[in-house]
Structure 1
Amino acid sequence: MTLIIDGHPFHYEMENLCRLFCPQEKIVVLENAEEPKEDGLCVYTGLKKCDDGSFLLTVRLVIGDSSKGKAALLPAGAQEEEQKLRMSVTLWKLFSEQFGFRPSWGILTGIRPVKLFGKFAAERGTEEAVKYFQEEFLVSKEKTELARTTWKNEEKILSLARPDGFSLYISIPFCPTRCAYCSFVSSSVEKTFHLIPKYVELLCEEIRRTAQVANRLRLRLQTVYFGGGTPTALSADQLAALISAVRESFDLSDCREFTVEAGRPDTITPDKLDAMKRGGVSRISINPQTLNDEVLQAIGRKHTAAQTLSAFALAREHGFNNINMDLIAGLPKDTPESFRSTMERVLELSPESITVHTLALKRAARLNQEGKSGNADAAEQMLTFAYDALMQTGYRPYYLYRQSRMVGNLENTGWAKPGFENLYNVFIMEECQSILACGAGAVTKLRDPDTDRIERVFNFKYPYEYIDRYEEILGRKERVIEFYERTDPKKDR
């Protein structure tokens, strides 16, 4: 596909809309160029200022000798935001007519539609925000209601974030195997087993150094999140060492939750559950993704549905009363019927929270490299059934986000029974407080409470880099101190 940008700066928005309707197409962007004479799809987007000060915007889809277009005239004085909105709507409508597909999030392609809804609601009121989403952004009634309900539930959680609070993220970038849909930086234990002892040793030290920084800045730790990867790919002793490093280094008197992604059911053992329970872990995830063994095999998971059920029962026996389970809609070989069966079996277990993801075909994922594409209609059917079933059984949506290259431009939604919402997920998604992060691939996000400005400090991505260049990572902790000294220079540190 060729995308022509003529006379406007809306490259990013136009490319995202093209990817929304043609997710598997490689997009070549040309500035102020003529339409190429070729058989492939060419998308022209142009904006010209007329003599009277008005603006003429034009979009065309050209396939060989066939061409379809739309135009709109904007009044003189139309600001850039209005120009961008009208061009996006016009291109979306042209694509929808051409392909017979109306994405339910309309022209919205960003990660945080709920945050956007909240912004409009704060400025104009909830009713006007609903109207704007449906009439201007072309969001469906169902997705608008999902955004509204999620925002209402998020508001209560966001009120818990302290101005001097922060969350701690610990990265464990190891997995038993790599899933076919995965694009995260993670390493299989089989290939990198020899790195794990040194990695854990250095990570414990980074945790201690991070605590020194937080204590110097008088920050209050509110949530802890061990993510990955699969943290339970580590041994029980290694997990215990990391948890102890957190507990011994940080003041946890203001900490509201301590989460460990147990993730793969085949990594969950009695001794690891004991280590987490003794360490004060209050919430774990056991993520089946599906309870269909054929689908599990297709995505490279080495466990079975039976192992998921067994791991869940084992966690209950060990006293875990706050368990999350992740599911993915749109997986290869899954159908609306088999997804429904998975959903019903998970609801029978009655976990405290359920996160329903939509398959995202990222560039680095094996499924994408194999040319696989998801079925948008099937994925939407799966989400519709899941959401109805979750609402009927007492779960409520409390956070929502989207990813690029997500099947059908759909969403990931966290659902929880009242009182079991994961605060960390909301804090990081809504960027309402700083996140101090440790480990390979971890990204510290520093938030200025006065301006909402975000500054990032990156650790090296891969475990071998983390080990080889560890001193550089420790040196970057100074950037955290420098950030807070700039944002509040009068405060005595």
Structure 2
Amino acid sequence: MIIELLSDNKELAVTGQDVVRLFYPDAEIRLVHAGECEITLKVAVYADGQFIEGAVELIKGGIFTAEQVTANMKSLPFPDDLRNNLKRLVKLALFRLLSKYTGQPAGPWGILTGIRPTKIVHRLLDEGWRPDCINQYLTTAYDMSKDKAELLIDIALRQRIYLLSEKEAGELISIYIGIPFCPTRCAYCSFPSYPVENGTKLIEPFLEALACEIKGIGKAVKAMGLKVQTIYVGGGTPTVLSSEKLLHLLDIINNSLVSEATVEITLEAGRPDTITIEKLKSAREQGVARVSINPQTTNPGTLEVIGRRHSVQQVADAVAMARLAGFNTINMDVIIGLPGETTADVENTMSAIAAFEPENLTVHTMAVKRASRIIEAKDHFKAAPAREVEKMLYIAQEAAVNMGMKPYYLYRQKNMVSPLENVGYTRSGHECVYNIQMIEERQTVIGLGGGAGSKFVKAGTWYLTSHYNPKDPDVYISRINEIIAMKVDKLRSFD
């Protein structure tokens, strides 16, 4: 299907695309008149200083359908933010018109198609809004369900004690370190990741370049009077490194980045088939307090389909080793909506997870990304229907509650198998501070290593710019001095 989405203001057409995809996920959307289309959507905005309006016309076969949404500027929480208010009204008019036209509800999140919906709640809390007023605003201004509004507010209130003041945000940063190697590449993966069997020759020079970056950024951070609050060693799979290489890396991290202000170091040990007691003991001795062991599912058939070469027993062994090594905070990830899985499969996985008694649980709704093998061979991977995925997510949510956990961070992704969310759950006192800072974007986070992203945040205004390291290890290695210099310049400009 071809759909035209037209406007005199191209920005309005661009911003409406995500709403159209909620109803027509496989359609080709054109932002210029082409003539060969099934549906034409025309969007416009009107403003007279007091009232603003978003308007949409749908034309099919010469028949017109229209929808308008009007707002009084004085009733809006941020009346000076005219541009974003107009974009919201256009999306709302599109959403309501297409809901009526297609006869299908587009999910509980309404027009909130962004990655970080909790940021809206934090902004309203900053303005002194009460939770009940925020709930009413979210359900009316974004057409989201009451349940999702309550979830956002609950998470935001739980996060508030971890958000930095303007002064703290000018003094504390976090660090992400990316190791872009894995035992194998999972079918759903879109992260920078290279099978270790094909990248053995790259590991040593990559680690040398990474050591230069860690030391260079560590030196600059100290010279600027900054301190590192949290460190997250992710990937890829960092535990694909040998015990000696992992210990050496963690030693460099400790000597270059860690200070009395560092409250948390996390190690992503996502693949149970890469975990040994020696690696875990070394990590614990180097100050790592939180480890992530990610089964994704405990159904052997699914593990084989998605390309994870580990057994359920290896997951159990990895958890036992982590406890033996002294870890008191273990995170486990699961993915809802994996190819071929049913609600019964999810129930089995959550039952197994409960037996492992982790302190953190991250529940992902599967997102089908362009860079994944699933999208390359989509005919061989059958995703569950959206309604079934909603049931699966509810099963995981109930399991987390039964394990004594509460939601503490949330984000969304494009191309999810159902327009839902990813939620991190935690037992009291085991919140991952890095996850909160990364999602809420009120702290500068410097990404080091392969494909790692950096977010430079201006304290107080929370103005943000992003930069990404090269994904290809060869390019990263060859450009390491340039990469370090760029980050130091960025840090100085935001200092």
TM-score (norm 1): 0.91
- Identity in percent: 35
Query: Could you report, residue by residue, the CA deviation over 1:263-316 in whole angstroms, capped at 9, with x for unpaired residues?
Result: 001111122112212212111000000011111112111112221112111211
* Among 208, 214, 217, the residue aligned to 1:207: 214
Contact 1:294 1:333 in 2 (8 A): no
- Report the counterpart of residue 43 of structure 2 in structure 1: 46
User: Counterpart in 1 of 2:76?
Assistant: none
Tell me which moved more, 290-299 or 161-170. Answer: 161-170
Give 1:82 deviation, angstroms: 4.3
Partner residue of 1:166? 173
Deviates more, 1:344-353 or 1:2-11: 2-11
Give distance in 2, aligned partners of 1:138 and 1:275: 50
Instruction: Give 1:376's aligned residue.
Output: 386
Alignment of 1:91-490 (within 5 A): 91-97=94-100, 98-123=102-127, 124-159=129-164, 162-371=169-378, 372=381, 373-484=383-494, 487=495
How far off its partner does 1:119 sit? Answer: 1.4
| Coordinate RMSD, CA, aligned | 2.5
Number of aligned residue pairs = 478
Deviation, structure 1 residue 59? 2.9
- State the AA in 2 paired with 1:119: R
Amino acid at match of 1:6: S
DSSP-derived class of the 1:319 partner: coil
Question: Which one is further off, 346-355 or 364-373?
Answer: 364-373
User: How far 1:454 moved relative to its partner?
Assistant: 1.6
In structure 2, the CA distance between the partners of 1:453 and 1:83, relative to structure 1 (3 Å rule), is: closer
Alpha carbons of structure 1 residues 83 and 434: separation in structure 2 relative to 1, 3 Å: closer
Deviations 1:442-481 (A, max 9, x none): 2222211132122334322211111122222232233134
Q: Is the 8 A contact 1:4 1:43 kept in 2?
A: yes
* Bigger shift: residues 323-332 or 65-74: 65-74
Tell me, yes or no, if the aligned pair for 1:224 and 1:257 is still in contact at 8 Å.
Answer: yes
The 1:112–1:365 alpha-carbon spacing in structure 2 relative to 1, beyond 3 Å, is same
Paired with 1:108 and 1:193, the residues of 2 have a C-alpha distance of 43
Partners of 2:52 and 2:86 within 8 A in 1: no
In the alignment, residue 121 of structure 1 is paired with which amino acid?
Answer: L
Tell me how far 1:67 sits from its aligned partner. Answer: 5.4
Matched residue type, 2:130: G
In the aligned structure 1, how far is the partner of 2:146 from the partner of 2:47? 37
2:19 — aligned with what?
17
Question: Aligned-pair distance for 1:388?
Answer: 2.3
1:300-349, Cα deviation, whole Å (9 max, x unpaired): 11112221112111211222111000011111011111101111210121
Separation in 2, partners of 1:383, 1:220: 38
Structure 2, gaps ≥5 residues long:
74-78
Q: Secondary structure at the match of 2:199?
A: helix
Residue 7 of structure 2 corresponds to 6
**Gap runs ≥5 in structure 1:** 488-493
Q: State the match for 2:65 in structure 1.
A: 69
User: Could you tell me whether the CA contact under 8 Å between 2:228 and 2:258 is conserved in 1?
Assistant: yes
Asked whether the equivalents of residues 103 and 409 of structure 1 are also in contact (C-alpha less than 8 Å), the reply is: yes
Letter in 2 for 1:394: G
Contact in 2 for aligned 1:167/1:433 (Cα 8 Å): yes
Match of 1:60 in 2: 58
TM-score by length of 2: 0.90
Cα distance between partner residues in 2 of 1:210 and 1:327: 33
1:45, distance to aligned residue in structure 2 (A): 2.5
